[in-house]
Structure 1
Amino acid sequence: MNNNKRVKGLASGGILLAFTVICVFLASILPTSVLSLYAVSSLFISVIIIEFGTRAGWTFYLASGILSAVLVPRLEVIPFIVFFGIYGLIKFYIEKVRSRVLEYVLKYIYFNLCLVLGLFFLKELILGGINLSVPVYIVAALSEVVFVLYDYVYTSFIRFYGTSLKPRLKL
């Protein structure tokens, strides 16, 4: 890799890292749009993976997780570290499977594992202090519907980036 491309990659990664941490920070302080901000924060890693590969993606995930934990030293950083921050990498590896059914099964297993851990350990954070009269299995079912929408939007963003943004940005 020549020096010019390396500098461009570092600068691009730094800017995307800043956007990621800003989204996580805003998710920790704003009373609404928390899941939307986490979802947006998770998109930046896909740009890194597309432009610089999975090795850079892992480095970006570690850097964004550590920096978020340092700058947002509250429990609100845990959903990013456990699910949203790494989802781009998980999605990349799962989508290498050539079976669409197995792909969705693996994604659901990962999501449900994170959901169960979240509901057991971070119930207050996930539900925002709301005392629900709705059974947990209904919350889980609704969460799965939201996850399908999130995965669809994530895939749409990747396509949009590849067809429209990447040629214009020339990272």
Structure 2
Amino acid sequence: MHIKAKKMAFGGLLLALSVICMILGSVIETGTLFLLAAASFFVGIIFREFGRKTAAAFYVAGVLLGLILAPNKLYVATYGMMGFFILTEETAWERLSGWNAGVRKKSAVLWGIRYAVFDLIYVREVLFLKKMMFPSTLPFWATAGILAVGQAVLWLYVGAYGYVQRELWGKLRGHIFQA
């Protein structure tokens, strides 16, 4: 099979799975965040297999198809933020791989970038949604608690993404991309 055809077919399948995960997030309310995270992980798989430009195109296509097909647009926005985070993390990792520094230093810089990007997205959304969801103002301690929980969720999200890339995709890719 021609390389570009294989790339397009594989990207199309993962795009379909991403949109299905977004739609299922509306149907299976208890698994919404899990399904949206799974959908965003496909952005990282495309990035690692085919590069940044293809992953960016995949990400934009996922958001646009989600806006057209998914019933809950808030979930598409959440997918958009998660996918953007994955794109940023993978780009940062790609750039750091050429940096001549120790593994600990690279890891510390990567975590700094992760938290900076996450907090740029998350803090803004928490403050916006707080005004939208609660009629009165929340006490400072409640807002601080919501923000702290988000930091722990980021740690879990990054851990889950690493696990999917290392363990699940690492084992599946050999079966999918056999010559």
Distance 2:59 2:26 in 1: 18
Name the residue aligned to 1:45. Answer: 43
Letter in 2 for 1:165: L
Name the residue aligned to 1:33. Answer: 31
Q: How many equivalent residue pairs?
A: 166
Name the residue aligned to 1:63. Answer: 61
TM-score by length of 2: 0.81
> Is this contact kept in 2: 1:91–1:107, CA < 8 A?
yes
Letter in 1 for 2:83: G
> Is this contact kept in 1: 2:85–2:118, CA < 8 A?
no
Of 97, 108, 120, the residue aligned with 2:115 is 108
Q: Does 1:78 align with 2:43?
A: no
Give 1:162 shift. Answer: 5.5
Letter in 1 for 2:53: R
Unaligned runs of 5+ in 1: none
Distance 2:61 2:20 in 1: 14
Name the residue aligned to 2:103. Answer: none
The residue matched to 1:85 in structure 2 has which SS?
Answer: helix
Letter in 1 for 2:158: D
Distance 1:84 1:28 in 2: 17
Of 160, 163, 167, the residue aligned with 1:160 is 167
> Is this contact kept in 1: 2:126–2:147, CA < 8 A?
no
| % identity of equivalent residues | 29
The residue matched to 2:30 in structure 1 has which SS?
Answer: coil
The residue matched to 1:7 in structure 2 has which SS?
Answer: helix
Could you tell which deviates more after superposition, 133-142 or 53-62? 133-142
Cα 1:34–1:162 shift into 2, 3 Å: closer
Cα 1:124–1:164 shift into 2, 3 Å: farther
Letter in 2 for 1:167: G
Q: Does 1:117 align with 2:115?
A: no
Letter in 2 for 1:79: T
Letter in 1 for 2:63: G
> Is this contact kept in 2: 1:28–1:77, CA < 8 A?
no
Name the residue aligned to 2:102. Answer: none
Letter in 1 for 2:19: V
Of 8, 11, 16, the residue aligned with 2:9 is 11
Give 1:123 shift. Answer: 4.0
Letter in 1 for 2:114: K
> Is this contact kept in 1: 2:24–2:35, CA < 8 A?
yes
> Is this contact kept in 1: 2:18–2:39, CA < 8 A?
yes
Could you tell which deviates more after superposition, 111-120 or 133-142? 133-142
TM-score by length of 1: 0.84
Distance 1:155 1:124 in 2: 34
